[in-house]
Each structure stands twice: as C-alpha cells, then as structure tokens.
Amino acid sequence: MAAKVTIATFDHTLDLDAAWPITISLVPNGRSRFTFHCVPNYTPARFAEVVCYAKDGTTPIFGGLLLQRHVEGFGFGSVPSVCEVECVDFSAYLDWCFVTLTYTTDPTLQDVLDDLVAALPAGYGPITLDATDYSGVTLAAFTWTNKRASDALRELCDRTGLVVTVSPLKVLGLAALGATPAPPVGGITDAVPNCRELTWEDAPTPPITTVKLLCGTGFVDRTETWTANGSDRSWAFPCPLMVRWYAVYVDSALFIIPETGVGATLTIDFAIATITQNVGETTYVNGTVITGLFTEIFPFLVTSTSGASPEIQEVRERPDVFEVAQGQEIADGLRAQLGGSPRTLHITSLDDGWAPGQSLVVDLTGRDVDATCLVTEVDITLVSASFWTYDVTAVTP
C-alpha cells in the first residue's frame, strides 16, 4: 500500500505533482491545512472534499475542503498550467453557519453538543458527534443567539478545558489534552532519542494570574422568577448592574414598584445582586412565586484570579455573554490556559502517527528538559509515498 489522496471521493494521488512540496499542518482548535500542486493542466473543483491517507493507504489523517486554488504557467506565455491547492479541514464548515440555543437550566455538555450538531445544515456531510459520553460535565445555563458554530465550540473549550476535533470522516468531538501518547515508544530520552533534532525556547510572556472579562453590551429587559421553599428569605438575580426595576410580583399580584430598590417587605440590594425578605416579616410559604421585572445594563465584570504575586492581568471583552455564571466559567477557563509560561519545543521526527493534543515524555539531560509535554502542532512533509518528515511543536507544563 502507499499514501493516497482522494478528491470528491475519487483517487487522484497521481494528479499530485511530487516535484512541489506536499504538506499537512495539523493544529488543535484551529484550521488544519493540506497544500499541494497538481500535475500540468489538472485543476480540481473548488470546495471539493479532499481526504489524505497515511502511508498505509487506509488511515485518513486529513479531511477537508479544497478552499483556494492558484493557477499559473511554468513561464511567461507557456501553455501548460500548474494549479497550487490549499485545503482546510472539515471544521471550516462550522465557520459558515450560526446556531441559536437557549438553556434556562444548567445543561450537560452532552445536551449542548447534541443540540449543536442537530442544528448544523444537513449539506455539511453530515457532521456527526462521536460516541464519547459528555453527560458528566455540567455547564451554567446560557443562551446563544445567532452564534457562529465555531465560536460556540471555542466557548465550550474555554469553559471545559477540552479541545475540538473534527476527524477526516466528519466526526465532531471534544478531547482532553494529553489523553493519548505521542508515537515514539518511551518518549524522547538520552538513552533513546527517537528524533532527529530537538530545540526549545522560553515563552515570550509571563504567566497570567488574573483574567478579567467584560461581558455583555447594551440593555436587556429581563424577567426572573424565584420559588420560596419555606426557609429561604433571599434570592439572587443574575446580574448586579440594573437600570431600574419595573415591578415585583408575589404569586402574580403586583407587590411593589421599587423606584428606590426598597419595598415594604422586600429589599433589593444591587451591590450583592439579591432580593431579600426583610427581617420580621413572615417567611413566604412553600411554593410562593416571586417575579421580578427589570432592565440590565452592560457590560458587567467577572474576575478569575490565582492570587499569585505579582499579579499579571489579562482583560478581554465578551459582548456575547449575558449570564454571570457563563462568564465566570469562561474566565476560569481562560486563566487555566494562560496561567503557565511554558517552554516551546521544536522536534523533527520520522515516526508516523503524530497528532496535536498528544502527550510526550521528554528527558534529555544535555538539553535541560525533563517533562511530560503537550503536542500543539504537527507539520508533515510528504517527501515521497513512503518517506515523510514530521516537524512537531510541543510545550512543557
């Protein structure tokens, strides 16, 4: 068997011109790319689906769309043409559609992924969800309104610490970083180097200790409902920034119109975002429904900090986020991503099977590296059908 490339399901391996570079760049949470040149006078159709198989001819390592073509002659006035092709992986489909999803109670990650995949256009293949059980991850309630599907998945990654994968067979999944080992058996060590070269450099920036997220924009009219359970005397409303309260109802009866935020038996405290039944009043009986109508003004601020010193801050804006709990999950996730200052390793290897997200043990005394690293990017050059080189980027913890 030998490496194979299909274009629109047909084998076009022989239509790739090996005299030009044939490369694959694999990245997590991004757009992996496959570039090649065609033999003279062959120009494939734009947006055709392309799959590149490994050296065994059966294992797909890249699947995507023929996104861009560049055609030119070999020289001025020449008749034969050569077509340079750039393909982007199937996750590009997620850039081209928008989803609207609302969760009034805390959904599981499984709920959200099922709904998101169901909302994708059928013409995309279809894209299916992998068999992983995501029901063990619970998210704070939120709403997406006409949100780009790729941005929605990036938000899920920020909130969960997982990374998006879309396989060459159009299977969507969220994977844990470092869950699978890199191909060199035993890693890269003094005894068994398992690579042609390894270099590294320090991160150019220090670790972020505090992330501040400015959430929302404009004004939103809200209705919030609480149900008394016989003991609670205080209820939290979702956002501490209000323009004004319109009204508060108790069991559908108008109770107060609190221009000042204080009613006869209820106190609204904007500083701590709560509405509280005053001391001395009889506790509401079980099942009493309290309804508040109000207008929120944005943005509001959520903060995630490690408490480390010196404090190094990162401030970002998320005008699409209108829920405090949702914003907090995003801020916590970003701090986890930005809270390190890893060294970046560059590795040249001949081993097959490298992929982003893999874990790699590196223990080289002479290079002063002893860590389990995370593979972040893999660039493959197809030198010939049976000889490929892998330029791997990995980071230390």
Q: How far apart are the first and last CA of the chain?
A: 39
Report pTM: 0.80
Strands 143-148 and 98-102: antiparallel
Residue 128 CA, distance from chain mean position: 17
φ and ψ at residue 127, rounded to 5 degrees: -80, 130
Domain 97-176: assigned CATH number: 3.55.50.30
Whole-number pLDDT of residue 276: 84
- Residue 336, classed as helix, strand or coil, is helix
Is residue 253 pLDDT above 80, yes or no? no
Q: Are 336 and 358 in contact (CB under 8 A)?
A: no
Whole-number pLDDT of residue 242: 64
What is the C-alpha to C-alpha distance for residues 24 and 379, in angstroms, rounded to an integer?
6
Domains 97-176 and 188-203+342-395 share a fold: no
Q: Which of 72-76, 170-174, 256-260 has the lowest mean pLDDT?
A: 256-260
Q: Give pLDDT tens digits for 35-73.
A: 999 998 899 999 999 999 999 999 999 999 999 999 987
Position 80 confidence tier, pLDDT thresholds 50, 70, 90:
confident
What is the C-alpha to C-alpha distance for residues 135 and 112, in angstroms, rounded to an integer?
10
Q: Could you tell me which CATH class the domain 188-203+342-395 is placed in? A: mainly beta
Q: What is the chain's mean pLDDT, rounded? A: 89
> Where are the chain's structural domains?
4-92, 97-176, 188-203+342-395, 212-338
